[in-house]
Amino acid sequence: MTGIEAILIGLGAIVLLSIGVMVTFVLVVRALVRRVRSSRAVGATALRARARVSHGPQRTVLALRVRLADALHSGRAAVELSGESGGSGGARGELPRLFRRISEEGGVLDLQLRLMESETNSAVLGDEIPAARRRVEQVEVLVRRVRDAVASGLSGTTDDALSALGSDVDREVAALQSGIEELQALNRRDGRVGVTRPPTTSTVRDEGNRP
C-alpha cells in the first residue's frame, strides 16, 4: 500500500466518522425535543387535574397557571409555525426573539403563582390574586399579538393568490367546456351522434318472434 492510498483511506475514515457523529447528534437532539414536549404535555395535564380537584383561592391560582401555560403554548406553536413557513426572514427573526422575552416573563410569573399556591393565609392570597390575574391577562394579550402577526404573515397574499387561482380555474373550465361543445358539434356533423331510444316491450316481443 502506497502512502497516497493510506492517506486516502485515512481521509475516508475521517469523513465516515464525521457523518456518524453528525447523525448521532441529530438523533440525540430529536430525542431531547420529543422528551421536552412530552414532559410539557404531562405537566400541563397534571396541572389541569390539580386545578379541577382544588378549591378556594388555591383553585383560582391553579386556574391562572393553566391559563398562563395555555397562552405560552399557543404562542410557542405559532412562532414554530412561522419558522416553517416561507414568510419574511426578518419577521421570523423578530418573532422568536420577542416571544423569548414573553416566555421569560411568563416563567417568572409562573414562579410567583407557584409561590402563591403555598400561601396559607387566605386573606393575603385574596389580595394577591387580582394583581396576578392582571399579569396573566397581559401575557395573553402579548401572545395574541404574536399569533396575529404570524397569521398576518401567513395570509399576507392568500386572498390575492386565491383570487388569481379562481380566475385560472374559471378559464380552464371555460376552455374545457368549449372543447366539449366543439367535439359534440363535430360528431353531430359526422353523423356519429344519434338519438338512441330504449327498446320498448313490443319491439323486444317482435324481435323474439322473428324466425
Residue 205 maps to a domain: no
Q: What is the pLDDT of residue 68?
A: 94
Let me know whether 62 and 140 are in one domain. Answer: yes
DSSP annotation of 49 reads H
**Same structural domain for residues 22 and 32?**
yes
**Distance set, CA 42 to CA 38, 60, 64, 108 (Å):** 6, 21, 18, 21
Place of cell 426578518: 90
Are 100 and 24 found together in one domain? no
Q: What is the CA radius of gyration of the chain?
A: 34
Q: Verify that 27 and 83 share a domain, yes or no.
A: no
Is the same domain home to 65 and 142?
yes
My answer on whether 44 and 100 are in the same domain is no
The count of structural domains within the chain is 2
Per-residue DSSP letter, 188: H
**Which of residues 138, 155, 172 is at a domain's end?**
155
Residues 62 and 139 in one domain: yes
Check whether residue 39 and residue 98 sit in a common domain.
Answer: no
Task: Give the residue among 77, 72, 160 at the shortest CA–CA distance from 110.
Answer: 72
Structure confidence by residue, pLDDT tens digits, 7-42 = 777 777 788 887 888 888 777 766 665 665 445 555
pLDDT tens-place string over residues 122-171: 888 888 999 999 999 999 999 999 998 888 777 655 666 777 777 878 88
Q: Is residue 186 part of a domain?
A: no
Asked if 62 and 142 sit in the same domain, the reply is yes
Cα distance between residue 80 and residue 95, in whole Å: 10
pTM exceeds cut of 0.95: no
Range of the domain at 47: 7-52
Q: Are residues 58 and 142 both part of a single domain?
A: yes
Burial class (CB in 10 A: 0-12, 13-18, 19+), 166: exposed
Question: Do residue 18 and residue 87 come from a single domain?
Answer: no
CA 85/CA 92 separation, integer angstroms:
9
Residue 27 corresponds to which amino acid?
Answer: L
Closest by alpha carbon to 109, among 82, 158, 143, 86?
143
